[in-house]
Chains A and B, each alone.
Chain A
Amino acid sequence: MDILKFFTAGSVDDGKSTLIGRLLYDTNSILADQLEALQASNRKNDDGTIDLAILTDGLRAEREQGITIDVAYKYFQTEKRKFIIADTPGHIQYTRNMVTGASTAKLAIILIDARKGVVEQTVRHSYLVSLLGVSELAVCINKMDMVDYSETVFREITEAYEALAAKLNLNKVNFIPVSALKGDNIVHRSVHMPWYDGSSLLYFLENVEVTGHLPSVYARMPVQWVIRPQTEDLHDYRGYAGRILSGTFKKGDAVTVMPSGQQSVIDRIEVFDKEPEQALTGMSVTLHLKDQVDISRGDVLVSSARLTQQTRNIAADLCWMDQKQLDNSLTYLLQHNSKITKCKIADIQYKVDINTMNKESADTFHLNDIGRVELKTADELAFDWYDENPANGAAILIDSRTNLTVAALMFREAV
């Protein structure tokens, strides 16, 4: 059994929380005491049934205002898969939360209100899916019960969306007509839409293939920690501990330490008391090299068959996440996996109006702004382009005055 992380984009009005509540409820993932707390709550639907949206609104302010402010993580599982949902708010003022939820997701669910069709926020959410490179997309056309389960309405919306998807290079799009409120096509196939011959949302989630694994030449492992017991019997023990970002390392593979460029060969791979022949993407391991090389935290071990990029000047897409606007006279800190270095924003190429996707010139970025910048870092970074290997192509910016994470960065091209 594997894990699928997905995120949901949509606003409360689209029934996003209801959809998640429905998934949890219909897969028996809500337990009795949670249900009891739900029933005791004053929030009910118009027909007196339980308001499933309450399940995802965790903070007091959210319950008071009836909105989702922050990313909430929810868990459920079926016989086939474990699911982790990043439930993110959909309004434009929470763009940063959506970017956060999308950053770890392999699949996105976009909700469209069947009565409204493709609207401004649909464009925005789809743009973010494309920007973050989320590989699979399920477009749920919700509230089908409000349009008499009309096939015509569904067809019109899918056509409009396909035009948008083409512009954004979104190629794996699946359309599902649903009613989260009534439960149509969420877990169970709907009896109200005989014209729809696709699967329910849950069936789709259970069966969709999302590996995201890259060939072994993309083997990359940032060193997090050097294990050196320095005891009598383990005097020469020197293990490089980290998690495999992408690709596969095998015993005997030629590796290069980036950015120093030193070369060696994998001598053995340790996972606690086991010594596997290979280290797969996602595994946390300890690597041993044949040669004595100088390696410390923040260095990246990479396959010598394909080295990373190595530069101090990078054009990157940026999403600004702080209340304080970007000040390009400041030096920020850039964190790329386990490596931290100083960074300046050398230039702003453009800002994107994410409702229309038009590029505009800009002097700064405010909260939730997205655009392209040119970075100049103090140290060389060992990275890949985000399009090729997202796991090694992203970073965050930190304001050294407040220590807050102020921006998400995706490395796009050389300057």
Chain B
Amino acid sequence: MQAQKLDYLDELEAEAIHILREVAGQFEKPALLFSGGKDSITLVRLAEKAFRPGKFPFPLVHIDTGHNFEETIIYRDQMVERLGEKLIVGYVQDAIDQGKVLEQKGKNASRNALQTVTLLDTIAEHGFDACIGGARRDEEKARAKERIFSVRDEFGQWDPKRQRPELWNIYNGRIQKGENVRVFPISNWTELDVWNYIRREKMDLPSIYFAHQRDCITRNGQLMAASPYLNMDEEDLIVSRKVRFRTVGDMSCTAAVASDADQIDDIIAEISASKISERGARLDDKVSEAAMEDRKKGGYF
């Protein structure tokens, strides 16, 4: 009898690769949603492991809010060049210019929620039947109940009560025309798993993940990067702080954490000891107890 067991990172990696290959095998026109964040960077690494030396059987798709950290865009473009894979960018600005969505007003204005429209437009324009995303179940309690193959109706909506049972490692990706499937290969990873994997694989990340000096303001008790995208007034005091970001989203809704961790080992040590969960730095989840569930029902990632 064989007693050898896979290390947990090997097992998580193997599961994710299996899921990516199922997407390739089951769908006509899949896409990988790439945000420039560590989770989608991890997905890209997993796609290399799943399909090299062949090409990816899908393009990368970036939904660009226009409120990006510059470092993320530089990283994205260098990565795409290194990979030699196709990148499609959907611009939230386009939806705003076309009058499809209205820019939020007030101090907490963010383009995060506006992304959904651009995402759905991009899916429709290219006819994507599956969108691979980097969401994890440990992030949030509505996500804890979402399937790895998560079917969305023609309006992009998630219906938590009509989810398909997902048994063994068998993924049912059959859909009607107009529907599409969101696929989450790293559903079973935790934030710490992602970091440990990044360290093991010696992956590069955008520099904002590491501690750096930055002009910040304090908003709702959290540190926010001062930027033209943030609605600031005289009451907002700009101070230079040493910070890093735990997630990378729209600049107007991603808070920084005060940190000296400028090496990956320090970040892992910091997360292991942290008393604030990752999505605690996302103002968009704080609206209500069901904030994520409601956004997902509306077509969010």
Residues of chain A whose beta carbon lies under 8 Å from any beta carbon of chain B: 1-3, 31-34, 37, 41, 55, 57-61, 63, 69-75, 77, 82, 84, 96-97, 99-100, 103-104, 211, 213-216, 224-225, 227-229, 231, 234, 237, 241-243, 247-248, 271-272, 280-284, 297, 321, 333, 335-338, 390-391, 394-396, 398, 400, 403-405, 408
Residues of chain A within 8 A of B17, CB atoms compared: 243, 284
Residues of chain B whose beta carbon lies under 8 Å from any beta carbon of chain A: 1-8, 10-15, 17-18, 21-22, 24-25, 48-55, 57, 137-138, 141-142, 144-145, 160-161, 163-170, 172, 174-176, 187-188, 190, 192-193, 274-277, 279-280, 289-290, 293
Contacts A60-B290, A280-B6, A333-B174 aside, 4 further interface pairs with beta carbons under 8 A come to: A2-B8, A31-B276, A243-B18, A243-B21
Chain A residue with the shortest CB-CB distance to B201? A272
* Contact (Cβ within 8 A) A73 B14: no
* Contact (Cβ within 8 A) A211 B51: no
Residues of chain B within 8 A of A335, CB atoms compared: 170, 172
Give CA–CA (A94, B244) in the complex, Å.
44
* Contact (Cβ within 8 A) A1 B277: no
Chain B residue with the shortest CB-CB distance to A216? B2
Residues of chain A within 8 A of B1, CB atoms compared: 211, 213, 215
Minimal beta-carbon separation of A212 from chain B (angstroms): 10
Residues of chain A within 8 A of B145, CB atoms compared: 58-59, 70-73
Q: Which of B11, B14, B54 counts the most A-chain CB atoms under 10 A from its CB?
A: B54
Residues of chain A within 8 A of B52, CB atoms compared: 227, 272
* Contact (Cβ within 8 A) A405 B172: yes
Residues of chain A within 8 A of B18, CB atoms compared: 224, 242-243, 284
Q: Which of A82, A284, A333, A395 counts the most B-chain CB atoms under 10 A from its CB?
A: A284
* Contact (Cβ within 8 A) A31 B168: no
* Contact (Cβ within 8 A) B280 A73: no
Residue from A2, A99, A408 within 8 A of B11 (CB atoms): A2
* Contact (Cβ within 8 A) A398 B174: yes
Minimal beta-carbon separation of B279 from chain A (angstroms): 8
* Contact (Cβ within 8 A) B165 A58: no
Residues of chain B within 8 A of A73, CB atoms compared: 137, 144-145, 187-188
* Contact (Cβ within 8 A) A224 B8: no
* Contact (Cβ within 8 A) A70 B141: no
Closest 8 CB pairs of A and B: A33-B280, A58-B141, A31-B277, A284-B17, A32-B275, A224-B21, A403-B174, A284-B14
Give CA–CA (A398, B175) in the complex, Å.
11
Give CA–CA (A71, B145) in the complex, Å.
6
Minimal beta-carbon separation of B128 from chain A (angstroms): 17
Residue from A75, A243, A321, A333 within 8 A of B14 (CB atoms): A243
* Contact (Cβ within 8 A) A215 B170: no
Residues of chain B within 8 A of A242, CB atoms compared: 18, 21
* Contact (Cβ within 8 A) A61 B161: yes
* Contact (Cβ within 8 A) B160 A227: no
Minimal beta-carbon separation of A208 from chain B (angstroms): 13
Chain B residue with the shortest CB-CB distance to A85? B144
Give CA–CA (A282, B279) in the complex, Å.
31
Residues of chain B within 8 A of A333, CB atoms compared: 174
26 residue pairs of the A-B complex, CB under 8 angstroms, read A31-B276, A33-B277, A60-B290, A60-B293, A61-B161, A69-B161, A70-B160, A72-B141, A73-B187, A96-B165, A99-B165, A100-B166, A214-B2, A227-B51, A229-B53, A237-B53, A248-B2, A272-B48, A272-B49, A280-B2, A283-B10, A284-B49, A338-B22, A338-B25, A398-B172, A405-B165
Take A73-B187, A224-B18, A280-B6 as given contacts and tell me if A408 and B141 are in contact as well, using a CB distance cutoff of 8 Å.
no
Residues of chain B within 8 A of A97, CB atoms compared: 165
* Contact (Cβ within 8 A) A225 B168: no
* Contact (Cβ within 8 A) B5 A394: no
* Contact (Cβ within 8 A) A227 B53: yes
Residue from A96, A395, A404 within 8 A of B170 (CB atoms): A395
Minimal beta-carbon separation of B189 from chain A (angstroms): 9
Take A70-B160, A84-B188 as given contacts and tell me if A33 and B276 are in contact as well, using a CB distance cutoff of 8 Å.
yes
Give CA–CA (A214, B17) in the complex, Å.
22
Q: Which of B21, B22, B137, B176 counts the most A-chain CB atoms under 10 A from its CB?
A: B21
Residues of chain B within 8 A of A284, CB atoms compared: 13-15, 17-18, 21, 49-50
Take A1-B8, A104-B169 as given contacts and tell me if A213 and B21 are in contact as well, using a CB distance cutoff of 8 Å.
no
Residues of chain A within 8 A of B175, CB atoms compared: 403
Give CA–CA (A41, B142) in the complex, Å.
16
Residues of chain B within 8 A of A390, CB atoms compared: 168
Take A215-B2, A398-B174 as given contacts and tell me if A2 and B7 are in contact as well, using a CB distance cutoff of 8 Å.
yes
* Contact (Cβ within 8 A) A1 B7: yes
Minimal beta-carbon separation of B187 from chain A (angstroms): 7
* Contact (Cβ within 8 A) A100 B167: yes
Q: Which of B163, B168, B293 counts the most A-chain CB atoms under 10 A from its CB?
A: B168
Minimal beta-carbon separation of A64 from chain B (angstroms): 10
Residue from A55, A229, A337 within 8 A of B55 (CB atoms): A229
Chain B residue with the shortest CB-CB distance to A62? B145
Give CA–CA (A395, B169) in the complex, Å.
10
Minimal beta-carbon separation of A271 from chain B (angstroms): 7
Chain A residue with the shortest CB-CB distance to B278? A31
Residues of chain A within 8 A of B57, CB atoms compared: 225
Residues of chain A within 8 A of B142, CB atoms compared: 58-59
Give CA–CA (A61, B290) in the complex, Å.
10
Chain A residue with the shortest CB-CB distance to B173? A403
Give CA–CA (A367, B166) in the complex, Å.
16
Minimal beta-carbon separation of A109 from chain B (angstroms): 18
Take A394-B170, A408-B167 as given contacts and tell me if A213 and B14 are in contact as well, using a CB distance cutoff of 8 Å.
no
Minimal beta-carbon separation of B212 from chain A (angstroms): 24
Residues of chain B within 8 A of A75, CB atoms compared: 137-138, 188, 190
* Contact (Cβ within 8 A) A74 B6: no
Minimal beta-carbon separation of A248 from chain B (angstroms): 6
Residues of chain A within 8 A of B137, CB atoms compared: 73, 75
* Contact (Cβ within 8 A) B160 A241: no
* Contact (Cβ within 8 A) A241 B21: yes
Minimal beta-carbon separation of A316 from chain B (angstroms): 13
Residues of chain B within 8 A of A31, CB atoms compared: 274-277, 280
